[in-house]
């Protein structure tokens, strides 16, 4: 099996690469590429993202054909994809960071700024927060409810269909931090920075 981490110049993804390679060991081939043919022939894809919603969408759109290739992989061919942080937020129809920006449109919803209740909650939200697992998800196999994951974000993804939500976290309000819709998986937290539990989530995705 081969898994491609999509490198579209969306910030430093070295910790994502290192964690996936650590979990995969020699059993699964991990590649890092923006080559369209490599992506098409992959069994699974990881879509990371750091920075703003707009900067990540712009970086993705700057590679000719990448948007359509990801769409074909995920929506038409229904192969598994894991989005991390802004990679997960880009599933939405639209994001409002910097300026109104169209997302991938895979899971209907929007990405808007966390309500910090007039400064009561610091933004960005940085650090460890508790998971509230709200539905059985394949990537949460053997993950205990109330496990702690590592977050760095100021914006939240609000999907229209609440049935796609697999976990939330409480910070200012109940924030969606994980979704599962058929072959599409996403986490707002960083599994690659979330210690053993995070590595287990990566392992679960690789072993789907």
Active site residues: 85, 190, 192
Q: Yes or no: say if 93 and 111 are a contact pair by the CB < 8 Å rule.
A: no
Q: What is the DSSP track for the chain?
A: -EEEEE-SS-S--HHHHHHHHHHHTTTSEEEEE--HHHHHH-SEEEE---S-HHHHHHHHHTSTTHHHHHHIIIIIS---EEEETHHHHTTSSEE-SSS-EE---SS-EEEEE---TTTTS-SSEEEEEE-EE-S--GGGTTPPTT-EEEEEESEEEEES-GGGEEEEEEESEEEEEEEEETTEEEESS-GGGSHHHHHHHHHHHHT-
* Dist. CA 77–CA 175, nearest whole Å: 30
């Amino acid at each position: 099996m081969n898994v491609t981490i999509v490198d579209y110049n969306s910030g430093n993804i070295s910790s994502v690469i290192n964690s996936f390679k650590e979990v995969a060991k020699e059993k699964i081939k991990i590649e890092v590429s923006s080559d369209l043919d490599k992506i098409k022939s992959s069994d699974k894809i990881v879509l990371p993202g750091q920075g703003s919603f707009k900067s990540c969408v712009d970086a993705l759109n700057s590679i000719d054909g990448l948007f359509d290739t990801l769409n074909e992989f995920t929506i038409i061919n229904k192969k598994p994809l894991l989005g991390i942080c802004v990679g997960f937020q880009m599933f939405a129809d639209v994001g409002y960071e910097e300026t109104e920006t169209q997302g991938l449109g895979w899971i209907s919803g929007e990405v808007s700024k966390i309500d910090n209740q007039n400064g009561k909650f610091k933004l960005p939200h940085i650090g460890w927060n508790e998971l509230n697992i709200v539905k059985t998800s394949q990537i949460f196999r053997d993950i205990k409810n109330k496990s702690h994951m590592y977050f760095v974000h100021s914006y939240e993804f609000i999907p229209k269909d609440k049935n796609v939500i697999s976990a939330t976290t409480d910070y200012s309000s109940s924030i969606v931090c994980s979704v599962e819709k058929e072959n599409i998986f996403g986490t707002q937290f960083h599994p690659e920075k979330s210690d053993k539990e995070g590595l287990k989530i990566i392992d679960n995705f690789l072993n789907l």
